[in-house]
Amino acid sequence: MEQLEIYLSPVLDFFSGQPWIQGGAIFLITFIFASFTSWVIFRVLKFLTSKTKSYLDDRLLSIARPPIYYSLVITGFSTAVKIMPLSDSITDKLIYGFKTIGVLIWMTALIRASKIILQQLAWGGGKNKQRLIQPQTLPLFDNLSKLLIVAVAGYVMFQIWGIDMTAWVASAGIMGLAVSFAAKDTLANLFSGVFILADSPYKIGDYIVLDDGQRGKVMHIGLRSTRLTTRDDVEVTVPNSVMGNSKVTNQSGGPNPKFRIRVKVGVAYGSDTDQVRNILMGVATSEPLVTKTPEPRIRFRAFGGSSLDFELLCWIEDPELRGRTLDKLNDEVYKKFNANSIEIPYNKQDIYIKEMPNR
CB 313 within 8 A of CB 296: yes
Q: How far apart are CA 338 and CA 326, in angstroms?
A: 18
Considering the domain architecture, whether residues 236 and 271 belong to the same structural domain is answered as no
Considering the domain architecture, whether residues 174 and 160 belong to the same structural domain is answered as no
Q: How far apart are CA 158 and CA 167, in angstroms?
A: 12
Domain for residue 69, yes or no? Answer: yes
Considering the domain architecture, whether residues 275 and 300 belong to the same structural domain is answered as yes
Considering the domain architecture, whether residues 209 and 272 belong to the same structural domain is answered as no
Q: How far apart are CA 123 and CA 114, in angstroms?
A: 14
Q: How far apart are CA 83 and CA 13, in angstroms?
A: 12
- Pick from 207, 236, 254: which residue ends a domain? 254
Considering the domain architecture, whether residues 286 and 334 belong to the same structural domain is answered as yes
Q: How far apart are CA 183 and CA 190, in angstroms?
A: 10
* Domains: count for the chain: 3
Domain for residue 350, yes or no? Answer: no
Considering the domain architecture, whether residues 179 and 325 belong to the same structural domain is answered as no
Q: What is the CATH number of the domain that holds 278?
A: 3.30.70.100
The pLDDT of residue 128 is: 44
The pLDDT of residue 303 is: 95
Answer positive or negative: Cα dihedral of 334, 337, 343, 344.
negative
CB 337 within 8 A of CB 292: no
- Pick from 192, 223, 254: which residue ends a domain? 254
- Pick from 254, 271, 296: which residue ends a domain? 254
Considering the domain architecture, whether residues 269 and 302 belong to the same structural domain is answered as yes
Domain for residue 233, yes or no? Answer: yes
Domain for residue 358, yes or no? Answer: no
The pLDDT of residue 21 is: 67
pLDDT tens readout for residues 64-89? 888 888 888 887 777 777 777 777 78
pLDDT tens readout for residues 235-285? 999 999 889 888 999 988 877 778 999 999 999 999 999 999 999 999 999
Considering the domain architecture, whether residues 162 and 297 belong to the same structural domain is answered as no
Domain for residue 344, yes or no? Answer: no
Task: Report residues of the chain scoring pLDDT below 50.
Answer: 2, 127-128
Domain for residue 353, yes or no? Answer: no
Considering the domain architecture, whether residues 212 and 173 belong to the same structural domain is answered as yes
pLDDT tens readout for residues 335-355? 999 999 999 998 777 777 777
Considering the domain architecture, whether residues 278 and 237 belong to the same structural domain is answered as no
Q: Is 352 exposed, middle or buried (0-12, 13-18, 19+ CB in 10 A)?
A: exposed
CB 70 within 8 A of CB 64: no
Considering the domain architecture, whether residues 189 and 322 belong to the same structural domain is answered as no
The pLDDT of residue 86 is: 75
The pLDDT of residue 277 is: 96
Q: How far apart are CA 267 and CA 279, in angstroms?
A: 12
Q: Is 199 exposed, middle or buried (0-12, 13-18, 19+ CB in 10 A)?
A: exposed
User: Nearest Cα to 296, choosing from 344, 345, 263, 331?
Assistant: 263
- What residues are paired with 260 via a beta bridge? 315
Which range marks the domain in which residue 111 is found? 2-167
